[in-house]
Amino acid sequence: MENTPVPLPRTPYPVVSAQRLAGNIARMQALATHAGVRLRPHAKTHKSPVIARMQLDAGAVGICCAKLAEAEVFADAGITDIRLPYPVNPSNADRVLALLDRITLSIIVDDLDVATQWSGVMTRAGKTLGVLVKVDVGFHRCGVDPDAPDVVETIARIAVLPGLSFRGLLSHAGQSYTAESPYALAAIAARETDIMTGLAAALRARGIAVDEISVGSTPTAALAPSQHGITEMRPGNYVFFDRTQVGLGSATIAHCALFVVATVVSRPAPDRAILDCGSKTLTSDGARGFGATPGFGSVFLSSDEDVPDPAIVIERVSEEHATCRVPVDSPLRPGDRVRVLPNHACTVTNLMDRLWLADERGALTPLPVAARGRIW
């Protein structure tokens, strides 16, 4: 945290409730602890070593980062156990080797050729890299196909490669974000567990140790740990939550910690108001959820209540403008301030140099987003 005085924020700025942040961290940790599952939060949501430290102090075993540049920032800040659930390419071998000198690092692989390249890098360097095999549980992004006839053979060959320490299996049920009901969400989590434990059983039957089964997403977090066999969960978004998580039932608005404070800069027509937070603040991400969630965020007129104005819809975002449809009798005037609950907190954070932590009295403290923009 910065110690030097900084000017009060100008809008638009992201404000984070310190109390809700702490509550979200504590609740997710309790959920994991009671289920006997290790929690390894994904730090891409906050990109802040300060918040990562809060998660570790609460009981997390380490963190995840998406990219090596993020991991380098967290390693510089003294975080010593980092997992990259990302298919890091061996062209980055120099950076992985440098990180291995100072932290416990693990990555995922989903390709025998790539794993073999990593094996070569590590044996030449006399080092060992922890790897988990990524399994595609229905998101159809990265991962080995669990239904492929040779999948067990492929993983078995990866598991014995020299220079690699095969830790187990890892999945991310990103399709949970498109679930249309709580039942569909539960079915996605259950299927993920079935696939992962089934594959682990097949590997163990071949004598291959599968020490870890790591799953992770915020929408499925409350569902996954109760399932037998999972050893680790990696939710990220839960530290802040957002409008999408409210839409998916993972949180209520009262759990949401991050809002954008914005100013009305124009009221050019009776049914239109313009805010100073466009796609360079809120991003263009749409909200998802079980019901219809039109617009680029929910607008709150009061600074301290958790009830959005349902009649105000952010219909459009240009880079620096949010175009809102408002009731013709809306009292909003240029200069008025509102709060916006963003659709997707993780991408908003990445656009911000700093978050403003608000204590219970509303006093603000700047919190640098140290790994902001670290996408390489």
Residues paired with 324 in a beta bridge: 273, 314
- CB of 142 closer than 8 Å to CB of 173: no
Residue 175 in contact with ligand PLP, rule: CB under 6 A: no
Stretch that binds ligand PLP, among 204-212, 230-238, 252-260, 300-308 (CB under 6 A): 230-238
Question: Using CB atoms within 10 A of its CB, is residue 254 exposed (0-12), middle (13-18) or buried (19+)?
Answer: exposed
Residue 62 in contact with ligand PLP, rule: CB under 6 A: no
One-letter-per-residue 3-state SS of 209-239: CCCEEEECCCCCCCCCCCCCCCCEECCCHHH
- In degrees, rounded to 5, the angle at the alpha carbon of residue 203 between the alpha carbons of residues 201 and 208 is 120
Q: Which of 17, 55, 175, 217 binds ligand PLP (CB under 6 A)?
A: 217
Residue 14 in contact with ligand PLP, rule: CB under 6 A: no
Residue 40 in contact with ligand PLP, rule: CB under 6 A: no
Q: Which of 24, 48, 106, 218 binds ligand PLP (CB under 6 A)?
A: 218
Residue 342 in contact with ligand PLP, rule: CB under 6 A: no
Burial 133-165 (b: 16+ CB within 10 A, else e): bbbbbbbeebbbebeeeebbebbbebbebebbe
Residue 244 in contact with ligand PLP, rule: CB under 6 A: no
Residue 85 in contact with ligand PLP, rule: CB under 6 A: yes
Measured from the CB of residue 283, what is the shortest distance to ligand PLP in angstroms?
A: 14
- 104 three-state secondary structure: strand
Residue 24 in contact with ligand PLP, rule: CB under 6 A: no
Residues from 256 through 275 that contact ligand PLP (CB under 6 A):
none
Nearest Cα residue to 144 out of 158, 165, 130: 158
- Kindly state the number of chain residues that form the binding site for ligand PLP, as judged by CB under 6 A: 10
Residue 336: CB atoms within 10 Å: 16
Q: Which of 216, 247, 278, 342 binds ligand PLP (CB under 6 A)?
A: 216
Nearest Cα residue to 79 out of 108, 43, 114, 112: 43
- Cα(364)–Cα(352) distance, integer angstroms: 16
Measured from the CB of residue 239, what is the shortest distance to ligand PLP in angstroms?
A: 9
Residue 237 in contact with ligand PLP, rule: CB under 6 A: yes
Stretch that binds ligand PLP, among 31-39, 214-222, 289-297, 302-310 (CB under 6 A): 214-222
- CB of 243 closer than 8 Å to CB of 342: yes
Residue 343 in contact with ligand PLP, rule: CB under 6 A: no
Nearer to ligand PLP, 145 or 271 (CB): 145
Nearer to ligand PLP, 256 or 262 (CB): 256
Would you say how long the chain is, in residues?
376
Measured from the CB of residue 237, what is the shortest distance to ligand PLP in angstroms?
A: 4
Nearer to ligand PLP, 139 or 300 (CB): 139
Can you give the binding site for ligand PLP, defined by CB under 6 A? 42, 85, 172, 216-218, 234-237
